[in-house]
Structure 1
Amino acid sequence: MSALFEPFEVIPAIDMQDGDVVQLVQGERGTGTQYGDPVVAANQWVEAGAETLHLVDLDGAFEGERMNATAVDAILESVDIPVQLGGGIRTIDDATSLLDRGVDRIILGTAAVENPTLVAELADSYPNRVVVSLDAADGEVVVSGWTESTGVDPAVAAARFADYGACGILFTDIDVEGTLEGIQSSVTARVVDAVDIPVIASGGVASIDDVQSLYTTGAAAVVVGTALYENKFTLTDAMGAVENN
């Protein structure tokens, strides 16, 4: 396995919509709770000990065009830890522009599913900087801002993208995303078992026990959003719990 995340990381999510931090429930528009300025959030997470930041341009995910570029640029200028970004990255030009501007890792979702050779081309030019996002609902990969089902099993898709050169898989369980009702670790475990590259787990984390459960699946990291913003636990406590395992 790559040293992309060693040791296991708890990564704060900064999902952006209309210039604000927003956390959606099960990926559905109109369900978001706003949590303020993305740049303020980024700096707060860095101060809390984050080792990586996970940025998502939700407008880009839904519309296919990145709408929060100003906030992303401001975050890149204000933090000194790795930043990974997804949402609305559809072309080679989109990807290379972000990578050359300072984004450490890009996350390809819809574009990867629709054009897998895009992953191979970018991975060849930018080794260890291309992550593929697989969002699953009802056991199938979904795309276009979680609105279209592909009928593809996420474990099968993960193995395919590992072969194309992805340095990691971001797996989001949409069935529990943003609900604060807990995770479905068996779903993540299937994806982890299908590949030899790091899997970043996401979706449904409501407690430190959930973080520990995802750690035991063999996932390399977990992205946490709503639970941190709603103060269900602190980033420091979550990282400490895993380090003590």
Structure 2
Amino acid sequence: MTTDAFTVVPAVDLRDGEVVQLVQGERGTDRRYGDPVEAAERWLDQGATTLHLVDLDGAFEGERINADAVERIVETVPETVTVQLGGGIRTVDDAVELLDLGIDRVILGTAAVEDPDIVAAISERRPDSVVVSLDAKDGEVVVEGWTEGTGLAPAEAAQRYADLGATGILFTNVDVEGKLEGVRTEPVADLVDAVSIPVIASGGVATIDDVLALREAGAASVVVGSALYEGEFTLEAALAALDAED
């Protein structure tokens, strides 16, 4: 994973075979946006170079329920586009199976917290393939679909996973996730300072200014969901704004 080209990464969150967005990860807050392959194709047409897939059923239930939808997206995406996937990945074999399917990077959340050595085990078999997801509420890393606290601070956890071979950290600020009320850059900047591997920011993006602020905070890229699906701004406009500032 490189930090050279900061970009906007569209989220394709899957539940029951459809694209959804949740507010602060709460079940029952689903906003549905149709077929996942159509969503992926739309973002590719607008210039996406990376897609961020999340199996929300997998995150909640611990099983990759949306496997068919994931496979359809992978079959659609050209090799020049990076695909990363999280949700329901609990074992080394789960991860390797997905990487063999064509996923470029697997994202581990609960599994990495419960068994940090899984990061090293997957990295040994498939180098540069593991991103660890650190979701934080009130400054504490949470797991199991954002429902259980761990007592870990994000910076402390990130350092551990960097040492174990993680190629990046996906940091989601659940306090602002899905609310379209703006980002908080301080936690991102603190995490960037704590580790030498790239930090992917997620949560709260409502405007192109939020995107630019996260780049200024040192993030390697930013995952955007609700703002794109709700038409707050277009992916094309965000990418153009990044180019204009280079």
TM-score (norm 1): 0.98
Q: Select 2:21's aligned residue among 20, 23, 31.
A: 23
DSSP 3-state at the match of 1:244 = helix
* Map of 2:228 onto structure 1: 228
- Paired letter, 2:135: D
Give 1:39's aligned amino acid: V
Q: Is the 8 A contact 2:188 2:218 kept in 1?
A: no
Whichever residue aligns with residue 155 of structure 2, its letter is A
State the shift of 1:143 in Å: 0.2
Structure 2 gaps, min length 5: none
Instruction: Tell me the number of residue pairs that the alignment of Structure 1 and Structure 2 aligns.
Output: 243
* Residue of structure 1 equivalent to 2:168: 168
1:161-208: per-residue Cα shift (whole Å, max 9, x none)?
000100000000000000000011101111111111010000000000
RMSD: 0.8
Displacement of 1:244 after TM fit? Answer: 2.1
Partner of 1:203: 203
Tell me the residue number matched to 1:106: 106
Asked if 1:55 corresponds to 2:50, the answer is no
1:223 Cα deviation after fit: 0.1
1:115 — aligned with what? Answer: 115
Instruction: Tell me how far 1:84 sits from its aligned partner.
Output: 0.3
Q: Which amino acid aligns with 2:8?
A: V
Q: Which runs of 4+ in 1 moved over 4 A?
A: none
In structure 2, the partner of 1:132 is 132
C-alpha deviation, 1:126, in angstroms: 1.1
CA contact (8 A) 1:215 1:242 kept: no
Give the Cα separation in 1 of the matches to 2:128 and 2:218. 19
Residue matched to 2:93: 93
Instruction: Map residues 206-221 of structure 1 onto 2, 5 A cutoff.
Output: 206-221=206-221
Deviation at 1:6, TM superposition (A): 2.7
Distance 2:43 2:4 in 1: 19
Question: For 2:44, what is the secondary structure of its paired residue?
Answer: helix
The residue type paired with residue 222 of structure 1 is: V
DSSP 3-state at the match of 2:128: coil
